[in-house]
Structure 1
Amino acid sequence: MPLATLGSRLAARLIDLLILFIPTYVAVAVAVEGGLWGTLLLSLLEMVVYDALLTANTGATPGKRMLRIKVVRVGTGAPAGWTASFLRALAIGVPSWLVTAVVVLLDERTHRGQHDLLAGTVVIAV
């Protein structure tokens, strides 16, 4: 299976963050006095739910679909499934993006971050 590039993975994540962050920021700014921290916490929770549901159902978030990549199980190429998708999303949601980025950069062979290692998944090009 051809692996997704680091650049396509990062671009997909940025697209997904924009899809979630902009509406959340507007909603929180208008309806709640939470400010930036409230927006960030709500966005973090949304990202976990968004990523888990979409990855379990389709293997890809809108950002991943735009860049023609998806999440599958290592070795089999089968869909990630609910448990792996939830574990993966939870690991992404934990504010550890710097650690994930370092792990991905060091794992030149498979480009798997800590969330992929935990869930037994890999991101491939489709």
Structure 2
Amino acid sequence: MPDPLAGMPPLADFGRRLTARIIDLFIVGVPLFLIQLAFGRNRYVVDTGKGEDVSEVITKSYNGSGLLWTLISIVAYVGYDWWLTKQSGRTVGKKIMGLRVAMLNDGSVPPSNASLGRAAVLWIPTLVCCFCLWPLALIVSMLVDKPYRQGLHDKVAKTVVVKVT
């Protein structure tokens, strides 16, 4: 079976991918933080000191704006990653770091459905439930995957990240 990477640029190293992701986190996260700050909202509000048992505090501690901000964050992060990846295979972070997302089978820019699946697997678990664990799982998956260095999000979309000259 022929090597899918034959004729493609070299695969991106982990350090460049991580740096690109951090840049993208700031590009989306800072405006979201400033908007949330401007509205004077915290994502979660904890009610303290009223003598209620823990189950009552937990039930009352989650307010409706927390869900709204979570949904806004999902739309912002997934939308950013999906839109830029389907356009050119490059988010701003990837452009700065000289990287591009490519389809594993032919090196082309990922189509809309692959870009959306990749972005959803990358961001939704992180933003909904697993802020620390999911990124760690993605990092481990990239570091141990041979020979393509695919994270779980890359495997779902059948993509690789390559260096661009």
Fold shared, TM-score > 0.5 on shorter chain: yes
The alignment covers a number of residue pairs equal to 125
Residue aligning to 1:81: 111
Alpha-carbon distance in 2 for matches of 1:5, 1:45: 28
Residue aligning to 2:94: 64
Identity %: 34
TM-score by length of 2: 0.71
Alpha-carbon distance in 2 for matches of 1:78, 1:62: 18
TM-score by length of 1: 0.91
Q: Give 2:36's match in structure 1, choosing from 19, 28, 46.
A: 28
Shift in Å at residue 108 of structure 1? 4.2
| Aligned CA-pair RMSD | 1.7
Instruction: Write out aligned runs for 1:1-126 (5 A).
Output: 1=8, 2-33=10-41, 35-36=42-43, 38=66, 41=70, 42-93=72-123, 94-95=125-126, 96-126=134-164
Show structure 1 runs of 5+ residues with no match: none
Q: Which of the pair has the greater relative contact order for Cα pairs under 8 Å at 6+ separation?
A: 1
More helix per residue: 1 or 2?
A: 1
Please say which structure displays the higher CA radius of gyration: 2
Shift in Å at residue 122 of structure 1? 0.4
Alpha-carbon distance in 2 for matches of 1:71, 1:64: 8
